[in-house]
């Protein structure tokens, strides 16, 4: 008998697949999207073999489509991720996430003295600063402090 050499994961009829997530970031994506509160089926794969990345993770969410603000959250945590929207078992849209030039109302400023942490009606606003290697930091519009990816706290 020949051994199987591939992982078979059930297709979803309608919903979204978030693919190519770095394996160590899958649960962070689950958290920032509040998927633990999701009433529809959610399928999670971690440390799945990938020719391109070595290992990867994926999340399949039945009957749910995400807003552009969610794409930005995903991009901050998993910049290699791709979003695949499915209807009637067919891919209707596929896109790779990308970190935008500015971020608003998604993450907190790490500076406790920033006006956005003192006044609750002031929305957070950051300019994204990227280096030549693809690393980034968020520059606060108000206090001008930089927040690095390891200090991101999502709102």
- The single residue listed with the structure tokens 């400023």 is 109
Domain-wise residue ranges, the chain: 15-96, 102-151
pTM of the shown model: 0.84
Cα–Cα–Cα angle for 154, 35, 55, rounded to 5 degrees: 85
Burial of 154 (0-12, 13-18, 19+ CB in 10 A): middle
Neighbours of 47 (CB within 10 A): 12
The CATH code of the domain at 15-96 is 3.30.70.140
CATH of domain 102-151: 2.30.30.20
Give per-residue pLDDT as tens, 77-114. Answer: 999 999 999 999 999 999 999 999 999 999 999 999 99
pLDDT-derived band at 126, boundaries 50, 70, 90: very high
β-bridge partners, 16: 61, 85
User: Which helix (H) or strand (E) element contains residue 15?
Assistant: strand 15-21
pLDDT, tens digit, 9 for 90 and up, residues 12-29: 999 999 999 998 999 999
φ/ψ (deg, to 5) at 121: -95, 5
Cβ–Cβ under 8 Å, residues 94 and 71: no
């Amino acid at each position: 008998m020949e051994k199987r050499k591939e992982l078979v994961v059930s297709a979803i009829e309608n919903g979204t697949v978030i693919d190519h997530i770095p394996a160590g970031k899958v649960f962070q994506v689950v958290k920032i999207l509040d998927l633990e509160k999701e009433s529809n089926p959610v399928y999670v794969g971690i440390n799945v073999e990938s020719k391109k990345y070595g290992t990867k993770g994926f999340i399949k969410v039945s009957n749910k489509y995400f807003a552009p603000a969610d794409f930005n959250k995903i991009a901050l945590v998993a910049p290699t991720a791709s979003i695949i929207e499915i209807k009637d078992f067919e891919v209707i849209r596929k896109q790779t996430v990308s970190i935008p030039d500015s971020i608003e109302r998604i993450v907190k400023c790490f500076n406790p003295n920033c006006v956005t942490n003192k006044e609750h009606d002031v929305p957070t606003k950051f300019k994204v600063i990227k280096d030549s290697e693809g690393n980034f930091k968020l520059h606060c519009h108000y206090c001008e402090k930089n927040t690095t990816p390891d200090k991101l706290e999502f709102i």
